[in-house]
Structure 1
């Protein structure tokens, strides 16, 4: 198949891509989940983050292996398509769209919640429409401008987290508390089941590390840059989450002090720094939703582009790249229009959509490593068994644990969406009599 449209521009550097991953992960989310996870783990949130990071790095390693073979904007869609079957690849890509397309909508809903609390007299729809308009404007810019704006928003969140840690240290010293307590990480009565249950909640804080793979065609050397970016995004995000949750756990070991443990972040900010810090905290929360919205819109538009270029979606729309901007502009506009469904959906329903898509992608990327290296290439020896069988299986085991704890609503919505994809696939392939068209990549194993 020949490429008829303009290419994505290869202009992104390592730091650009790392910040996209961090923006997607939304650093300020560490405060939003603190109350829930602290209750779930019995006061060991930092240890739950350590376990989550350790587990998620196995899947991150699988993404790194596959992007070296197929440096494509299609990410899990392409990996599954090439290693297993085009039909299965399409269905994985279709499921992954749930994660990428619905996250901007979730960020729009969160923005409405934050700003409606601060300005109750302003109609909520104004915040949603305004947020989506900003996303659209930013994502219709050149990708270097988009990711630079995202980086500024992420840096502001990091500064607020550093300020929080500084205030926390001051508060702990004022109360004569031990800054180096190991209790948040270990206690004799700590229960492994409770920690794993907490980790299953925190897993979704790390979704951004895989989003960077959709930028593989916009960096000059993706086979080196993208695996590094995946690892750095997951590691930096994990270290930030662990550090912030450590100080939060020391300050608030008993979550009964919160009026609403499921929405404890405003109370945390007010308690530690007063109304001024609470205002700064709110600003950081808003930049978090904006950065995550930008990053997820970028990722979604690239996945749609890959599927359009393959002609599994209409190529003239989804495979089109603007000749001057180097951006799949129709996809960006479509995502903005889809995000307007935030006007009629609630946060719980919207969140249920993304979990199914993310876990589907994670599962099949790990499987792609096993199939590509152990089945197709017939790699043998203990090093191959470790790298291409054992490590992906560990990743699959952890993801399987998350699947087991996924709520029924997420499963039902995900299956309904997948059924729509299956029906479209039947139509597109004339009842499976034809394979879906594919974009052909030259496989490489030059970097292992």
Structure 2
């Protein structure tokens, strides 16, 4: 009898331990996943990049062609990430797949890049650009005021996600819906004003000789940065309802929809205002808004861009910390990153703090270069995991369509564009490459000298 009581007590202890584990609740549905991806994708890049690309490539047609190529690459990437998520539906992003398919060091480096560049750099870039699009009436003109406004945005976005996941997600969904309606309205106004055949003929007639291949590669890397959030669902896959279906579908639906929006937006940006007014401009959307509808529409566009950037910062502060939680569970980061109730508060605060430091320390140009290169390398390496035994499936049950061609082409193209673009930018300014090398070097050092060297599980 005593032995039976002891066994019963032991059974209840085991059940108690299992029930107290911090397994994430699957509370994020399909709509919220799509909104998360859209919020991650539609950020600073689409409103700033084409002015710089026009200066480098010479004609709007060339720039729009690069956006079309980047859209195809992003959709292919969404399909490939969907193939990965079908086989392992857990939060963790690139860290999770690389650590399982290649080596814990490869996964750690992907997570480290997410911590210091993929999310931190992207948040800082979005927050800095947000300030540049605030209407003049708000008075953020001085450098100190701009930094304070960017830091304030990061702090507010962090507060939105510091409590329960549900309220923050609902608020984000509402803001994304408003943003999409406003973007569609702006596109409708712009398309109505565009006389596309005449505009294309006029701009192409004045075109200079085509730029070098490395220039195209560099611009494609920049433009691809605007699509970088197409894989956002994988970072919260462990909290997604019906994860195998919703995670991969949300990435594909959002990637296709955002690609259409980007092509239409850039048609408006590049073929309405005179080229002399938009070449090399980082506030391209505001300039075009002023040209189409005067000061009123210009201010409305500024507010639209600011809203887009604010939701982008919020979405990245929701997705990124889930990677660091998974790394902590595997012993790759300190265990105090693991939340007691499923909300990664420590990771959110660290992400916000690092983004704040970067806002204060780097220029927009350096942030874009440094973040684009590291993100491209990480994404290419992750998709190439589909060619390795752990994730390539079985004959007749391959993870993606056109396997192995699709993942191989995506991985090699993305990696090649990143390398060529980085070498081109190094000739112009070595700062971004130095930052990238510093991230990689520090990551290797932290991996080998971390105190708790436990293998992934």
TM-score normalised by the shorter chain: which range applies? 0.7 to 0.9
Relative to 1, partners in 2 of residues 1:74 and 1:250: Cα closer, same or farther, differing over 3 Å?
A: same
Matches of 1:305 and 1:422, distance apart in 2: 19
Tell me if 1:228 matches 2:260. no
Report the Cα offset of residue 7 of structure 1. 2.2
What's the counterpart of residue 128 of structure 2?
Answer: 109
Unaligned regions of 5+ residues in structure 1, if any?
Answer: 440-448
Between stretches 53-62 and 302-311, larger displacement belongs to 53-62
Matched, 1:418 2:435: no
Partner secondary structure for residue 73 of structure 1: coil
For 2:85, the equivalent position in structure 1 comes to 67
**CA distance in 2: counterparts of 1:181 and 1:15, whole angstroms:** 38
CA–CA distance in 2 between the matches of 1:68 and 1:82?
A: 15
Q: 1:250 aligns with which of 271, 274, 285?
A: 271
8 Å CA contact 2:70, 2:220 repeated in 1: yes
Structure 1 residue 104: deviation in Å? 2.0
Identify which range, 107-116 or 60-69, moves more after superposition.
107-116
Give the secondary-structure state (helix, strand or coil) at the position aligned to 1:11. Answer: coil
Q: Which has the larger radius of gyration?
A: 2
Give the structure 2 partner of residue 276 of structure 1.
296
SS of the residue corresponding to residue 27 of structure 2 reads coil
Find the residue that maps to 1:327 and give its secondary structure: coil
Which residue, out of 70, 89, 93, partners 2:111?
A: 93
- TM-score w.r.t. the length of structure 1 is 0.84
| Separation in structure 1 between the aligned mates of residue 203 and residue 315 of structure 2, nearest angstrom | 32
In the superposition, the TM-score normalised over structure 2's length comes to: 0.83
Equivalence for 2:13: none
Return the match for 2:51 from 4, 13, 35.
35
Aligned to 2:37: 21
Structure 2 CA distance for partners of 1:186 and 1:349, relative to 1, 3 Å: closer
SS class of match (1:33): helix
Q: Does 1:393 align with 2:425?
A: no
Say whether 1:350 aligns with 2:350. no
The residue number in structure 1 matching 2:420 is: 404
2:316 to 288, 296, 309: 296
Instruction: Return structure 1 stretches of 4+ with deviation > 6 angstroms.
Output: 179-192, 381-386
CA contact (8 A) 2:135 2:302 kept: no
1:203 paired to 2:224: yes
Whether contact under 8 Å (2:86, 2:245) holds in the other structure is: yes
Structure 2 partner of 1:147: 169
1:333 aligned onto 2:349:
yes
* Corresponding pairs, count: 423
From 117, 126, 148, give the equivalent of 2:148.
126
Post-superposition CA distance 1:311-361 (Å, at most 9, x none): 21111x21224x2xx311111111222222123433233334422331132
Residue 84 of structure 1 corresponds to 102
Kindly indicate whether the alpha-carbon contact (under 8 Å) linking 1:21 and 1:210 is maintained by their aligned counterparts in 2.
yes
| 1:135 lines up with 2:157 in the alignment | yes
Shift in alpha-carbon separation, 1:27–1:235, aligned structure 2, 3 A: farther
Which residue of 2 is the match for residue 443 of structure 1?
none
> 2:78 and 2:202 mapped to 1: Cα distance?
26
72, 75, 94: which one aligns with 1:54: 72
C-alpha distance in 2 between matches for 1:29 and 1:19: 18
